[in-house]
Structure formats: structure tokens, C-alpha cells
Amino acid sequence: MLVDSHCHLNKEFFDNIDKLREDAFKSRVGMYISAADSLSSCYEMLELASLYEDIYIALGIHPEHCNDDYDEYENILISNLNNKKLVAIGEIGLDYYYGKDNKEQQIKIFERQLALAEKYNMPVVVHSRDATLDTIECLKKYKVKGVIHCFSGSLQTALEYIKMGFYIGVGGVMTFKKANIKEVIKEIPLDRILLETDSPFLTPEPYRKYRNEPKYIRIIAEYLANIMNIDIAEVSKVTRKNVKDVFDI
Ligand SMILES: [Zn+2]
């Protein structure tokens, strides 16, 4: 069985979760961690988790939504600390791709959530785009662990994150023809890798013209097995254990 350790099963992307799970099951995908990115999606994820036993969730405010009502978010999180389906704080982080105009606000919201993660001993799901140095600086201020989702940096950066106790999230991007991230990923120890689709985004080759879905985690696992020159059964077994270790499921 494979796990999609990072997807966004929001209604606006997927209106038929039963069908999505059925299709994923045919590809032997049997567990999901669906991440919120905004205040409204936190409510959506909580509802989803209450309806499906194989869907676990992360609750967080993504840098793109760093102006959402933070206090309300924190209240939701704290009132769900005993919810067994809530396994992480995420996705949170820094994103300077569209500019650094609101950098201070992004850092403030990121750090507040890191402080929460430290206080309640929860793993974090980190989004970092064009912001590696600031991300590392923020993470170093708190005693937190988790995953660097959709990793796209150098091997040196990956190893630094690993040294800090993080796992590396790997998905469809490595299958893209021009992506040299595959050269980095094949050097990362398998016991620090989490497989993710980031559905509905970043569909792996050769399905890029379709919307991404958790069923494609199989394609990602096969691709990883291929570039690492190991058996897919090994990829499946080790990455499943990694999910258990990170999220304590
Ligand atoms: Zn994501």
C-alpha cells in the first residue's frame, strides 16, 4: 500500500472524493494526508477527515493566505489537538516567488505556527519557494520536525534539512523532462523521503495534461524506484514507514 503524504482534497478541486479514493485504491494507494492552506480550507479539511477514515489532515495557513484571521486559525487548531486525524501543522512556510513585498507578514505567520508546533509537539509541513535561507533561519529558532514538501533545492540544502531532523517531500516535479531535481533526489537516503502528489497540482509525466490525483503516487513511486535502481516494493515499504515516523499515525 502507498500513501499520498501531501495533497489538497478541497471541494473546489475534487467534487467526488469517493471516486477519487476508488481510483487511488486500484493503484494500491490507501492513505492520504490532505493539507489545508487557508482558514476556510481548515474547516473543509476537518469535515473531510470526519467523513473518511483513510484521510488524515494538516491544518495551517500558507504564505499566500498570510492575511487570513490568524487568531481564528489558532483557536481551530487548539480545539482539535485531541482529534486523531489531525497529524501536522501545515502547509506553512515562505514563498517569495511572486515577490517579497509581504515578507515580514509571511515570516510572522510562519513563526507563530512554528511556535505552536513546538508548544504542542506537532510535526510541520513546510512550503518553501525561492526562500531557502529565510526558511532555514526560521526553522532553526524552534524545536520542530517534519517535512520540506515539494523539495526543489540542492543536495547540500536537502542534507542540511535532514540534519535538522526533516524529511524531504518528493513528487511529480522530478519526472518532468527538464527537471534536474532528479539528480539530487536519487542521492537522498530513502529513509528520509516522503512521497507526495501535491494534487491537484504538479501531475507527473506522462500525465501532465490531466489534473493531478492521489492515484498517481504510484507513478511517482515507480519513478523513484527507477532512478534509485531499487525495487518498488522497497520504496513502498520504506516511505510508508517514514510517514508513520513523521506523523505518528
Ligand atoms: Zn501543497
Average pLDDT for 6-30 = 96
**Residue 197 C-alpha to ligand 1 middle, in angstroms?**
9
Task: Provide the pLDDT for residue 19.
Answer: 97
Residue 83 has pLDDT above 90, yes or no: yes
Phi, psi of 107 (to 5 degrees): -65, -40
Residue 119 has pLDDT above 90, yes or no: yes
Rounded Cα distance, 24 and 213, in Å: 8
**Residue 43 C-alpha to ligand 1 middle, in angstroms?**
17
Q: How confident is the model at residue 114 (pLDDT cuts 50, 70, 90)?
A: very high
Q: Of all helices (H) and strands (E), which one includes residue 55?
A: strand 55-59
Phi, psi of 193 (to 5 degrees): -110, 135
Q: Between 103-119 and 70-79, two packed helices, what is the crossing angle to 10 degrees?
A: 20
Q: If you average pLDDT over every residue of the chain, what do you get? A: 96
Cβ pair 165, 136 in contact under 8 A: no
**At CA 72, angle to CA 67 and CA 73, rounded to 5?**
75
**Residue 127 C-alpha to ligand 1 middle, in angstroms?**
7
Cβ pair 164, 147 in contact under 8 A: no
Residue 242 per-residue DSSP state: H
**Residue 180 C-alpha to ligand 1 middle, in angstroms?**
21
Q: How confident is the model at residue 178 (pLDDT cuts 50, 70, 90)?
A: confident
**Residue 8 C-alpha to ligand 1 middle, in angstroms?**
6
Q: Which set of grid coordinates corresponds to residue 125?
A: 509541513
Cβ pair 225, 218 in contact under 8 A: no
Residue 194 has pLDDT above 90, yes or no: yes
**Residue 35 C-alpha to ligand 1 middle, in angstroms?**
7
Domain architecture of the chain: domains with CATH = 2-247 (3.20.20.140)
Q: How confident is the model at residue 177 (pLDDT cuts 50, 70, 90)?
A: confident
**Residue 123 C-alpha to ligand 1 middle, in angstroms?**
15
**Residue 226 C-alpha to ligand 1 middle, in angstroms?**
24
Rounded Cα distance, 152 and 132, in Å: 10
> Which residues have a beta carbon within 5 Å of ligand 1, which is an ion?
198
**Residue 26 C-alpha to ligand 1 middle, in angstroms?**
23
**Residue 62 C-alpha to ligand 1 middle, in angstroms?**
9
Task: Provide the pLDDT for residue 180.
Answer: 87
**At CA 189, angle to CA 188 and CA 191, rounded to 5?**
135
**Residue 229 C-alpha to ligand 1 middle, in angstroms?**
28
Other CB atoms within 10 Å distance of the CB of residue 158: 24
Rounded Cα distance, 123 and 166, in Å: 9
**Residue 90 C-alpha to ligand 1 middle, in angstroms?**
9
